[in-house]
Amino acid sequence: MDGATKTAYLRPLDVRHGRVDLSHGSGGRAMAQLIEQMFVRAFDNEWLRQGNDGACFPLPVGRVVMATDSHVVSPLFFPGGDIGCLSVHGTINDVAMAGAQPLYLSASFILEEGFPLGDLQRIVESMACAAREAGVAIVTGDTKVVQQGKGDGVFITTTGLGVVPEGVQVAGDRARRGDAILLSGPVGDHGVTVLSMRANLGFTTSLLSDTAPLHRLVAEILSVAPDIHCLRDPTRGGLATTLNEIALQSGVGMVLREDAIPVRREVAAACELLGLDPLYVANEGKLVCICPAERAAAVLHAMQANPLGSGAAIIGEVVEDARCFVQMETAFGGRRMVDWLSGEQLPRIC
Amino acid sequence: MKYVDEFRDGKLARGLTRALHAAVRPDRHYRFMEFCGGHTHAIARYGIEGLLPENLHLIHGPGCPVCVLPIGRIDSALELALERRVTLCTYADVMRVPASGRMSLLQARAHGADVRMVYSTLDALRIARAEAEREVVFLAIGFETTTPPTAAAIRQAAALGLENFSVFCNHVLTPAAIASILESPEVRKLGTVPLDGFIGPAHVSTVIGSQPYEFFAEEYRKPVVIAGFEPLDVMQAILMLVQQVNEGRSEVENEFSRAVTVTGNEKAKALVAEVFELRRSFDWRGLGTLPYSALRIKQAYRAFDAETRFALGYCPVPDARGCECGAILRGVRRPTECRLFGTVCTPENPIGSCMVSAEGACAAHYTYSRGDARRERRVS
């Protein structure tokens, strides 16, 4: 072989000891290698393999939903998940909350110089696994590297596309007086789990993050009740903030029953200790469904039949209230407001 | 949760509600002040006011540590963080209180100051040990509950010979604040704040005991019932106060007997006495300058006193115009009687300190009670 036809030797990525350096974001060979050996290998699909700047794909007929979500969680790895699967689930869920079937994702990475390639590999594999399980393809992406100290390991932004089945009309402004409010399971697991990992708090729990893709649960709900009004996943700001958002969008009030809202004992105990309210703590695998009262039983049944909704409950109802207040009958027997979250309860939870 | 759920039981609450309604005499009003912000929070959060008879009124007291901290002291903390470039550690709520120029510690952080939220004094100590090159100041606030941990931290810092750690002490005393309310013209002479008794502090009393309140019961003929922070504690204490009023008694009673004794926590008191001494006077937000109402660090531990180390001065700053925090802290006004409440002053954008802390009367009212028709009717 003469020099002109010989392929230059490229040392394989040293995943065990290697670290991200500035060349991995420079657009040169090192970046191409990272993309090829790390991302394309893990996410493997026909669109990525084509190696184009953008992915070109057909979409089924219908209304298309697009959602995007950035992930900055700290720590990157936590019981029950990591920033990788979280970034896939987060965007799938945003697409699913429009009643859509998620189909494609993009993934954009901001890496900090010095970040261990081994950790990156774990994260990328976790994303690949989450996408495969959810039946969604990561079809395009981007990688940038910032100098040490200018980032915090890795930030991931994902964007998702999905298509809404015909006849489904789910939106935050469709809650109506008399509607039932359903919750798919206990609240606060993700937030408390991540918080328990923070070095300065020094408490441990047996809790796992609830991070999970909810689109199949949504499809099952829609199959028994295609006329549900609202779906939303109570992530940052928790259940309380999500319900306030819907109340405001729909111009209605809500009355919840505190004793109907499922909260795990560990979450309740940790919140008690830290002065937090579980209603404001983030979830990554729960949804709120608002539907006509006569559909509530069917929706509840459908939710409970899915492992991701096994702890589902009807937690309250939509009422007329021009002030758009969310109120709660306390387990104690009184009544109080459930206000928007004010300030930042837990920074960088997702 | 064991030892918590029992004190939040709805069935027992209904029984207590019935007992309360049966106990109050229809021909008079009952007005009780809950001194502590912890009680204010519990009352709002569990919707207790809605369970009370129409002629029983609760008046929020000044026992919210963040609320009574005067703006001038926060200005000093801001000076430490922004100009002296220290690492300032403090409890979360303090970070959001707006000081001069609407600047808060949280905003100072956005301007590059190193302000850190800690859950305990030990966290601040740990930071000082780990970052020996940083000058670490713990901004200490609170009543008798939070004083012993500060004392412990100072003593430990002395034992470790930590040279980069100091405490900006703003610890205040409950009995002084109660005395100030009872001596205020509104209560004593004008009768604009008729007070029939106090719900006594929970955690403070675990440290100081029930004894210090006996003076108020005797001298001012006001019953005091020390109550825990759980909602059933509060209901039970209110019932005990009603019974005292009905029977013409003014005694100190202890509903929180599972944690509070007559003399309190001797070990904690000794620790505090070793490290702190009385200040001749201290400026309180709302209550004014009160003699012997706060603590400062003793000479023996002066090396850990941030006020000395950084030669901090104190410059009194008036409340923002229109802000009624002062009157609200004295029980003279209710939050909804402030023109700023819920309009320009909200938890997202607080003007006064009572809107900052979850224990503040305004924040508790805004967050939990705005939908309560009964209370809205009462104030209009």
pLDDT computed for residue B155 by the predictor:
97
In a domain, B343, yes or no: no
Inter-chain CB pairs, A–B, below 8 Å: 74
Mutate to test the interface with B, among A264, A330, A338, A348 (most CBs of B within 10 A): A330
Q: Is residue B380 very low, low, confident or very high in pLDDT (cuts 50, 70, 90)?
A: very low
Average pLDDT over every residue of B170-177 = 95
Same domain, residue pair B133 and B275: yes
Residues of A with CB under 8 A from a CB of B: 200-201, 259, 265, 268-269, 272, 274-275, 323, 325, 327, 330-337, 339, 342-343
| Residue A212, min C-alpha distance to chain B (Å) | 27
In a domain, B342, yes or no: no
Same domain, residue pair B130 and B222: no
- Nearest CB among A201, A268, A325 relative to B370 is that of A325
Whether A336 and B348 lie within 8 Å, measured CB to CB: no
Range name among A10-14, A284-288, A324-328, A334-338 with the lowest pLDDT average: A10-14
Same domain, residue pair B86 and B167: yes
Same domain, residue pair B165 and B188: no
Is the predicted pLDDT of residue B191 greater than 70, yes or no? Answer: no
Same domain, residue pair B24 and B160: no
CB-CB neighbors (< 8 A) of B131 in chain A:
none
Spell out the domains of chain A, with CATH numbers in brackets: 22-164 (3.30.1330.10), 180-337 (3.90.650.10)
Number of structural domains in chain B: 2
Name the residue of chain A whose CA is nearest to B367's CA. A339
CB-CB neighbors (< 8 A) of B142 in chain A:
none
Is the predicted pLDDT of residue B121 greater than 50, yes or no? Answer: yes
Q: Is residue A347 very low, low, confident or very high in pLDDT (cuts 50, 70, 90)?
A: low
Q: Is residue B25 very low, low, confident or very high in pLDDT (cuts 50, 70, 90)?
A: very high
Q: Is residue B358 very low, low, confident or very high in pLDDT (cuts 50, 70, 90)?
A: confident
* Beta-carbon contacts of residue B79 (< 8 Å; ≥ 6 apart): B310, B312
In a domain, B363, yes or no: no
Q: Is residue A344 very low, low, confident or very high in pLDDT (cuts 50, 70, 90)?
A: low
In a domain, B370, yes or no: no
Rg (CA), chain A: 22
In a domain, B323, yes or no: no
Range name among A175-184, B14-23, B185-194, B251-260 with the lowest pLDDT average: B185-194
Residue B210: name the closest of B230, B232, B184, B237 by CA.
Answer: B237
CB-CB neighbors (< 8 A) of B368 in chain A:
336-337, 339
Residue B205: name the closest of B362, B66, B63, B32 by CA.
Answer: B63
Same domain, residue pair B160 and B286: yes
Is the predicted pLDDT of residue A297 greater than 50, yes or no? Answer: yes
Q: Is residue B253 very low, low, confident or very high in pLDDT (cuts 50, 70, 90)?
A: very high
Is the predicted pLDDT of residue A213 greater than 60, yes or no? Answer: yes
Is the predicted pLDDT of residue B376 greater than 90, yes or no? Answer: no
What are the tens digits of pLDDT across the range B62-90? 999 999 999 999 999 999 999 999 999 99
* Averaged pLDDT of chain B: 92
| Residue A335, min C-alpha distance to chain B (Å) | 5
What is the spatial distance between Cα B43 and Cα B58, in angstroms, rounded to a whole number?
Answer: 9
pLDDT computed for residue B354 by the predictor:
92
Same domain, residue pair B134 and B199: no
Same domain, residue pair B161 and B270: yes
Average pLDDT over every residue of B14-25 = 96
Q: Is residue B192 very low, low, confident or very high in pLDDT (cuts 50, 70, 90)?
A: low
Q: Is residue A196 very low, low, confident or very high in pLDDT (cuts 50, 70, 90)?
A: confident
* Cross-strand partners of A138: A105
Q: Is residue B56 very low, low, confident or very high in pLDDT (cuts 50, 70, 90)?
A: very high
Same domain, residue pair B156 and B180: no
Helices (H), B1-92: 10-23, 37-45, 65-68, 71-82
Same domain, residue pair B78 and B166: yes
- Nearest CB among A268, A331, A335 relative to B50 is that of A335
pLDDT computed for residue A346 by the predictor:
62
pLDDT computed for residue B48 by the predictor:
94
Give A129's DSSP letter: H
In a domain, B149, yes or no: yes
* Averaged pLDDT of chain A: 93
pLDDT computed for residue B331 by the predictor:
86
What are the tens digits of pLDDT across the range A142-193? 999 999 999 999 999 999 999 999 999 999 999 999 999 999 999 999 999 9
Strands A326-329 and A335-337, bridge-based pairing: antiparallel
Average pLDDT over every residue of A222-234 = 97
Burial of B343 (0-12, 13-18, 19+ CB in 10 A): exposed
Domain boundary among B254, B274, B298: B254
- Which CATH number does the domain housing residue B269 bear? 3.40.50.11740
Burial of B16 (0-12, 13-18, 19+ CB in 10 A): buried
Whether A336 and B8 lie within 8 Å, measured CB to CB: no
Average pLDDT over every residue of B95-114 = 92
Q: Is residue B353 very low, low, confident or very high in pLDDT (cuts 50, 70, 90)?
A: confident
pLDDT computed for residue B377 by the predictor:
38
In a domain, B275, yes or no: yes
In a domain, B332, yes or no: no
What is the spatial distance between Cα B366 and Cα B355, in angstroms, rounded to a whole number?
Answer: 8
pLDDT computed for residue A5 by the predictor:
67
Range name among A164-178, B141-155, B348-362 with the lowest pLDDT average: B348-362
Whether B367 and A342 lie within 8 Å, measured CB to CB: yes
- Which CATH number does the domain housing residue B226 bear? 3.40.50.11750
pLDDT computed for residue A201 by the predictor:
67
Whether A330 and B118 lie within 8 Å, measured CB to CB: no
What are the tens digits of pLDDT across the range A101-113? 999 999 999 999 9
Helices (H), chain A: 29-34, 41-43, 46-49, 83-96, 117-134, 189-196, 215-224, 238-250, 265-274, 296-305
- Nearest CB among B9, B118, B369 relative to A337 is that of B369
Burial of A52 (0-12, 13-18, 19+ CB in 10 A): exposed
Same domain, residue pair B72 and B163: yes
Domain span holding position B46: 5-64+174-254
Identify the residue with better confidence: A120 or B330: A120
Identify the residue with better confidence: B358 or A97: A97
- Nearest CB among B17, B47, B348 relative to A336 is that of B47
Domain boundary among B274, B309, B344: B309
Same domain, residue pair B98 and B245: no
pTM of the model: 0.88
Average pLDDT over every residue of B5-34 = 94
